[in-house]
Structures are given as C-alpha cells and as structure tokens.
Chains A and B, each alone.
Chain A
C-alpha cells in the first residue's frame, strides 16, 4: 500500500463538479457579513466625524481610527493563508488552497492600505514620510513576503504542485512574523509608534470611533475573504467545465 491510499477519501469529494459543502456553507455568511459591514460603516463614519480633533496632532490624528484596524486585517489574512496551507497539505482538498489564495490577497490589500495610511500620518506628525520605525519595517517585510507569495502563484500556473509550493511558502511567511519582531526588538531600534494604545488610554471621545473602526474593518475583512473565496471556487468550476467541454468536443469530432 502506498501513501496515496490515505488521500483517496479526502480527494474524491473534489472530483465531482461542484464547490465543496464547506464552501457553500461559508458562502451563506457572505450576505450577513456584508450587511453588518454596511450598517457599521455608517455608524463608523458618523463617530469618526463626531470625534474631537486632537489638540496636538490636529485632524491627521483621525487616521488612528483606520490604521490599526487595517493591521489586524492584514495579519488575519496571513494567518488564514498559513492555516489553509497546512490544511491543504494534510488533506489535499482544493478548497483549502483557494482559501489560502483569498487570505493572501485580502491580507495584501489591508497591508498595502496600512503602508499608505502609516506614512500619511507620519508626514503629518513626524514631518517625514518614511522612518525605519520597527513596526513599519516589519510590515514592509511582511508585505514583500506576500507579494512574493502571489508572484509564486502567478509564475507557476494552476495545479496541485503550485498549491503545494504556495502552501509551504505561506507557512514560512507566518513563521517570519515573530522572527521579524524579534530582530527588531533585539536590535533596539526606537519605536515611534504611540504606545498609549496598549494602556487603553485613548483621549475622551476617541474610544468609540476606534472600536467602530475595528468592527467595521473586521466585517469588511470577512466579507472580502468570503467573496474572494467564492470567486476562486466559481473560477475553478468554470475552468473545469470548459476543459471537460473541450475534451468532449475533441472526442466527438
């Protein structure tokens, strides 16, 4: 008996012509999360506008209500990619690979927005666009890892081999997050990030919009992730139908 025997049960499910049960079930959550995002966004916008203007930093401080929640989305995306990668390697089920792509792409979007909003705030507050601030640097390094991940996918086509390569790269990527934090701690660069968030001592009137920002962007993340997963599933389905039609066509001629 070879090891392929153990994979049989897991993979027969994907050989029929539909998305997996897991994908269909998760797809049902897309609508509710979209609605939640839309409702929260209204409240979010209102509270951000209504929040007091910071006495020192001025209006630029309001980026705070966007920037940290984006970071959580980015990390969440990369964690999804790594977990989906492990699940794919263990089970061989393609829907996990499709989830891994979705996590990476949505994560990169959040990460990119974070890298844009950060320097805007830095320009307003520190007076320069870029500083090699530890957290900024870690984010930049991470951004490169997942750009490389997406490039790896687009350079090696579709198929099980690409999926395996990408799964492993996604796992290396997640291992890099703590390592990068560690090197930055170790080499003692001074952080320019405000530390007062940890203490929970946001100024008066700033807590609510911050909370709303986190909630809204969390639901935005969930909505985008499911949407992306859905698209990838349909795309795979369509590709297989086309391939089957081509195969049947060439046989009948």
Chain B
C-alpha cells in the first residue's frame, strides 16, 4: 500500500438500473503499468473515467497518492481527443495547462510539442491534424501538468502498425521516466508489450489478475480467450 500510486476499493457503478461495475479492487504501484483488458461493455472505460474523477462511483472509493484536490495529479487520454479543432496545437496545450494550473503554460506547451515531435506544426489548427498527430497532441495534453499517473483509454484505436509501435515506444519511455500508467485495451499483444501487470474485466467484475511473477503474454492470452468465451 505504501508505494501504491493508485488504489481502487470496492468500486460499483450503476447507470439507472444497469450495473456497469460490481465491486472492483485494484492497486497500482508507483512506476508500474497496468493493463485493463476485457470484451466490449465490460466496464473498462467506466472504471477509467472513475479513476480520472470524471464519474462518481455508486459505491466504493479511489485513493490516489498525494492527491489533495479532486482530479489533480492525473493525466487522462480519452477515447476522443479532448481537443478543440479551432485552436492551434500550441493553443490547445496552453489552454489545458491553464486548466491544470500549470505555472508557465506557454513554456510547458513548447517543451511538450518538441518532445512529441509536433514543433513544426505547433501553430496549425488541431482540426487539420491526422489521427496519429492528434493522438500525439492528446498525449501531450494529458501530460501537460506532469501527472504521476497517466490513464489511457484505447490509445491504439485508429493507429496504423507503425504509429502504434511508435506509441508503445513512447509510453515505455514515459514509464521509465517515472510515470505510472493504466492502459485500457482489448488487444492482448499491446497490453503484453507495455504493461507489467494486467487484469481482465468481464461484466463489471475482475475475473483474472496477474500474480507476483508478473505479466506473461501466453498466460494472459489464454485467460483472455477464456474470458471472452465466458462472456459470449
């Protein structure tokens, strides 16, 4: 518990009568990378949005190390880009930085644009970006306040093989730099490449989690197939 950056305790979430999450417990140690896998409708995105503070659980709670104000210290990469097409890449980052109380949003934006390889297009409107560029800008947006914890919802959607590999490489670098990651996906291969722990969510419950020996791609593959069969 002491070195956990994130603890999820007994989270339940209902939308009206429909239960999306039925008691989820999780822990993520500092610097770790956790993959949340599951079939469609398992509650993965709901869980991630609760972790980010965008959604209130019906029951249970989220503990984030060192968090004083709600929603601080968390970076969130959503299914959508969260970007304004009318604003330039740089303006998008400055705006996000000001929302997150970053001290010098303009400087921070320039640093991130350089890191994400977007310095050349900094003054182009985000609406003109390709999917891959938008994705990199979204990651920069999520990192604008240098959060301890990055929450990523299906970051590979819509990326071609090369762009996906580059993203994996990039996220590994972030992890090595001390960020903790939570990655929601339905792709076992990508989960295995990036994460050091994984859980499988089916119908709002965790049906499998990696043990102390860490994440092994083959085991995860088997468990995931079994989970899909049980859910079908």
Contacts and interface: CB of A to CB of B under 8 A. Distances in A.
Chain A complexes with chain B: yes
Interface of A: 1-5, 7-8, 11-12, 14-15, 92, 157-160, 236, 239-240, 242-244, 247, 250-251, 253
Most buried by B among A236, A242, A251: A251
Interface in B2-32: 10, 12, 14-19
A96 B119 CA distance: 53
Given A160-B56, A251-B203, A251-B231, A2 B62 contact: yes
A152 to B, nearest CB: 15
B203 A236 contact: no
Interface stretch (B63-71, B102-110, B158-166): B63-71
B61 A11 contact: no
A157 B58 contact: no
B19 A244 contact: yes
A242 B17 CA distance: 8
A2 B61 contact: yes
Nearest to B56: A4
A33 to B, nearest CB: 29
Given A3-B70, A239-B16, 7 more contacts: A2-B67, A2-B71, A5-B61, A8-B59, A160-B56, A251-B202, A251-B203
Contacts of B59: 8, 11-12, 15
A16 B63 CA distance: 24
A4 B57 contact: yes
A5 B70 CA distance: 11
A159 B16 contact: yes
A243 B17 CA distance: 6
Nearest to B15: A159
B60 interface: yes
A2 B17 contact: no
13 contacts: A2-B53, A2-B61, A2-B63, A2-B70, A7-B56, A8-B10, A8-B61, A12-B59, A14-B58, A157-B16, A159-B14, A243-B19, A247-B18
A11 to B, nearest CB: 5
Contacts, number: 70
A52 to B, nearest CB: 55
B63 A251 contact: no
Contacts of B222: none
B230 interface: yes
Nearest to A239: B17
Contact of A158 (B17, B58, B67, B232): B17
B228 to A, nearest CB: 12
A240 B14 CA distance: 10
A103 to B, nearest CB: 20
Contacts of B232: 253
A26 B202 CA distance: 38
A4 B62 contact: yes
Most buried by A among B18, B50, B62, B71: B18
A247 B19 contact: yes
Contact of A1 (B10, B58, B67, B202): B67
Nearest to A236: B17
8 residue pairs, one from A and one from B, having the closest CB atoms = A158-B16, A239-B17, A243-B17, A5-B61, A159-B16, A240-B17, A243-B18, A11-B59
A112 to B, nearest CB: 28
Contacts of B61: 1-2, 4-5, 7-8
